[in-house]
Amino acid sequence: MLERIRAAIPALPPAEQRVAHLLLADPRSFATLPVGELSLRSSVSKPTVVRFCRSVGYDGLADFKLKLAGSVNEGVPFVHRAVDEDDKAGDIVVKVIDNAMAALLSYRSAASSQAVERAIAALADTGRASNQGRRIEFYGVGNSGIVALDAQHKFFRLGVMATAVSDGHMQVMAATMLKPGDCAVIISNSGRSRDLLDVAEIARKKGATVIVITASGSPLAREALASPLHVLLAADHPEDADRYSPMVSRLLHLLIIDILTTGVALRLGSAQLRPLLQEMKKNLRQRRYAAAGAGSDSDSDSSSSTP
């Protein structure tokens, strides 16, 4: 709801834009304040507040507030921001999926193609030189460490020397051994981890390209923007890292890794990469024990032995 309103602001009259900005600045207060207070705070008339609600697709102020209250509820702290204590299974399915979809669509609109291009170019250059000792390292702790492992797996399939490091001491040692031409990809939900801030600084001093996947405005993001060797891939989402388990952020980070992997695969060239991936798939099929069923490749399980 808030994302739709934010996108609609340029099409609204100036007075209604002031109401929209008041709403976006503090949605929870907007849902509880009377129309007189809303008009006073946004410096518009009371009818303008009602017109704003109708302009963005609602029947009036009461209908708008009802929908807004449901949109900005705080959910269940430390569980999920989109659900309520008494939600049934069907409600949970709808709310969790809608919450994830809204975050992904928001990222699609906000993603910086220039930053993504820089990240892909740096990773592809390092990947081409991996036979010369250049390497890509993914750093993350906790939940972000799992994303780093996923990134290692994806880049490994491309024939690129890639490593995921999640232990704090190992991260410091690994970053200390980086060289110009290497890439360090730092993944963090909060952007406030002391270990990862230290790793970013060490990697920068070593001359490596540092790609940061984190929330904009965080300490890690500010450090990335301050250095020409850093590339910031901002992944903003409504989850409060101090109150909720990182769910949407994990999906966003995995999505960004998929984007980078796809871009690097295209840059490395399908003529050399595609036969390698095809052979890899063939060898994996031969490791399966269960038949794939009718219509599968004739050699999919022909060489497998039954245990």
The token duo for 228 is 């020409």
pLDDT score of 182 more than 70: yes
Cα-flanking dihedrals φ and ψ of residue 218, to 5°?
-80, 165
Domains of the chain, each with CATH number or no CATH:
1-72 (1.10.10.10), 112-271+276-282 (3.40.50.10490)
Looking at per-residue pLDDT, the higher value among 65 and 173 belongs to 173
Q: How confident is the model at residue 30 (pLDDT cuts 50, 70, 90)?
A: confident
The mean predicted confidence, pLDDT, of the chain is: 83
Residues 6 or more apart from 292 whose CB is under 8 A from it? 285, 300, 301
74: number of Cβ within 10 Å: 11
pLDDT at 158: 86
DSSP state of 189: S
Q: Sheet holding 183-187: strands in order across?
A: 162-165, 136-139, 183-187, 209-214, 230-234
pLDDT score of 20 more than 50: yes
- Going by C-alpha positions, the residue among 119, 138, 137, 135 that lies closest to residue 127 is 135
Dihedral (CA of 141, 147, 150, 152) sign: negative
Digit-coded pLDDT (tens) for 229-245: 899 999 887 666 555 56
Q: Please tell me the distance from the alpha carbon of residue 172 to that of residue 161, in angstroms, as a whole number.
A: 19
Looking at per-residue pLDDT, the higher value among 121 and 87 belongs to 121
Q: Please tell me the distance from the alpha carbon of residue 138 to that of residue 165, in angstroms, as a whole number.
A: 6
SS3 at position 73? coil
Digit-coded pLDDT (tens) for 199-220: 999 999 999 999 999 988 889 9
39, 31 Cβ separation under 8 angstroms: no
Q: How confident is the model at residue 273 (pLDDT cuts 50, 70, 90)?
A: low
Q: Number of C-alpha atoms within 13 angstroms, CB side, residue 89?
A: 0
pTM of the shown model: 0.69
What is the arithmetic mean of pLDDT over 163-187?
A: 95
Digit-coded pLDDT (tens) for 72-95: 665 545 456 566 677 788 877 887
pLDDT at 115: 95
Looking at per-residue pLDDT, the higher value among 203 and 105 belongs to 203
Q: How far is CA 306 from the centre of its chain?
A: 42
pLDDT at 95: 77
pLDDT at 217: 84
Residues 6 or more apart from 138 whose CB is under 8 A from it? 147, 148, 149, 151, 152, 162, 163, 164, 165, 185, 187
Looking at per-residue pLDDT, the higher value among 71 and 88 belongs to 88
Dihedral (CA of 292, 294, 300, 302) sign: positive
